[in-house]
């Protein structure tokens, strides 16, 4: 069994407690209160309850750490604290609302601007992914690695698709045309944290997307790196919290996909 650090244990306990409410509410998804944040971008009562639980648990365990959370934003000490929890209480909200059993809780720890630990928990499949800098990546205490595939035509690549009111559809369609013509398959499952966890576990061979937020990807980035993979912006620049795109793969496919991406979007007439 893998040895878990104190930080990882804090993150897992918080995720497990929040997952109990998500499982319960998922079972009653038809009765959830739903408000609109924007076009096709929902926030549910379950989302808010999970975030409250995570905020309370993480703050109780580490009161001097800052918080950056999807629904409530940054805590008052965000600018001054050396360490910050980056949290998405329900990644895959649309899946959740439609009764699709593919969503996750994502928690990352950032120290002086560097991501050092991450937990992604899928409460329906009971799959717990975690990683810490220099300690490897794990799925339910089993060590995981990125895939060893070297050829695009053997690979399955995950992505996100722009939807109502979000994203750059022309650029995406150009990228999809370039990638889909070179690989064995492209998947869009609607939960970026799990896309990255699946790359870390070798289930997906790569993942690319534009326009994500730090809480969508921070924990997954730690997983991929600790599983032996590479993470950058599309085009190869180093990934930063404010990066507008992400590409995560093994070393060989990273070079290959960066030769395909970025693709210039078609010019409008």
**Predicted TM-score of the model (pTM):** 0.92
Plot region of 190 (φ>0 → left; ψ -120 to 50 → alpha; else → beta) = left
Q: Which domain holds residue 32?
A: 6-144
Within 10 angstroms of residue 188's Cβ, the number of other Cβ atoms is: 11
- According to DSSP, the residues that pair with 156 across neighbouring strands are 185
Residue percentage of the chain with pLDDT more than 70 = 94
Within 10 angstroms of residue 23's Cβ, the number of other Cβ atoms is: 13
Q: Do 24 and 124 share a structural domain?
A: yes
Q: Are strands 83-91 and 104-111 parallel, antiparallel or unpaired?
A: antiparallel
Q: Which helix (H) or strand (E) holds 142?
A: strand 142-144
Asked if residue 94 lies in contact with residue 113, where contact means CB atoms within 8 angstroms, the answer is no
Is residue 190 pLDDT above 50, yes or no? yes
Q: Do 38 and 161 share a structural domain?
A: no
Q: CA 54, 5, 12 angle in degrees (round to 5)?
A: 25
- According to DSSP, the residues that pair with 206 across neighbouring strands are 157, 249
Q: Do 10 and 44 share a structural domain?
A: yes
Which CATH number is 165's domain given? 3.40.190.80
Question: What confidence category does residue 72 fall into, taking pLDDT thresholds of 50, 70 and 90?
Answer: confident
3-state secondary structure of 225: helix
Q: Do 172 and 140 share a structural domain?
A: no
Residues 122-137, mean pLDDT to the nearest whole number: 97
Q: Do 71 and 27 share a structural domain?
A: yes
User: Got the DSSP string for 39-107?
Assistant: TTEEEEHHHHHHHHHHHHHHHHH-TTSEEEETTTEE-TTTTT-SEEEEEEEEETHHHHHTT-S--EEEE
Q: Do 174 and 123 share a structural domain?
A: no
Q: Do 138 and 159 share a structural domain?
A: no
How many domains, the chain?
Answer: 2
The confidence score (pLDDT) of residue 127 equals 98
Q: Are strands 206-210 and 245-249 parallel, antiparallel or unpaired?
A: antiparallel
Is residue 264 pLDDT above 60, yes or no? no
**Running DSSP on this structure, what letter comes out for residue 153?**
G
Which of 75-79, 167-171, 194-198, 263-267 ranks highest by mean pLDDT?
194-198
Could you report the per-residue pLDDT of 13-29, keeping only the tens digit for each? 999 999 999 999 998 88
Q: Which of 118, 144, 170 is the last residue of a domain?
A: 144
Q: Do 140 and 158 share a structural domain?
A: no
The answer to whether position 266 is within a domain reads no
Q: Do 124 and 195 share a structural domain?
A: no
The answer to whether position 123 is within a domain reads yes
């Amino acid at each position: 069994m893998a040895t878990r650090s104190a930080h990882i244990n804090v993150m897992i306990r918080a995720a497990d407690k929040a997952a109990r409410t998500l499982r319960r509410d998922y079972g009653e998804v038809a009765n959830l209160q739903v408000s609109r944040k924007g076009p096709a971008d929902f926030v549910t009562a379950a989302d808010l309850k999970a975030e409250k639980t995570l905020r309370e648990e993480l703050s109780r365990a580490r009161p001097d750490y800052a918080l950056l959370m999807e629904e409530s934003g940054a805590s008052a000490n965000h600018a001054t604290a050396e360490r910050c929890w980056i949290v998405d209480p329900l990644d895959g909200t649309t899946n959740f609302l439609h009764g699709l059993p593919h969503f996750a809780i994502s928690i990352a720890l950032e120290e002086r601007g560097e991501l050092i630990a991450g937990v992604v928990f899928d409460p329906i499949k009971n799959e717990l992914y975690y990683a810490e800098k220099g300690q490897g990546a794990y799925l339910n205490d089993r060590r995981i690695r990125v895939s060893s595939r070297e050829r695009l035509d053997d690979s399955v690549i995950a992505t996100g698709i722009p939807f109502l009111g979000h994203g750059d559809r022309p650029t995406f369609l150009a990228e999809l045309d370039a990638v889909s013509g070179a690989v064995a398959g492209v998947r869009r499952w609607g939960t970026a944290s799990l896309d990255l966890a699946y790359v870390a576990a070798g289930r997906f061979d790569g993942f690319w997307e534009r326009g994500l937020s730090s809480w969508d990807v921070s924990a997954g980035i730690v997983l991929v790196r600790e599983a032996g993979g590479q993470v950058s912006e599309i085009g190869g620049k180093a990934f930063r919290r404010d990066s507008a795109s992400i590409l995560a793969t093994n070393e060989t496919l990273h070079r290959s996909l960066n030769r395909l991406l970025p693709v210039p979007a078609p010019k409008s007439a």
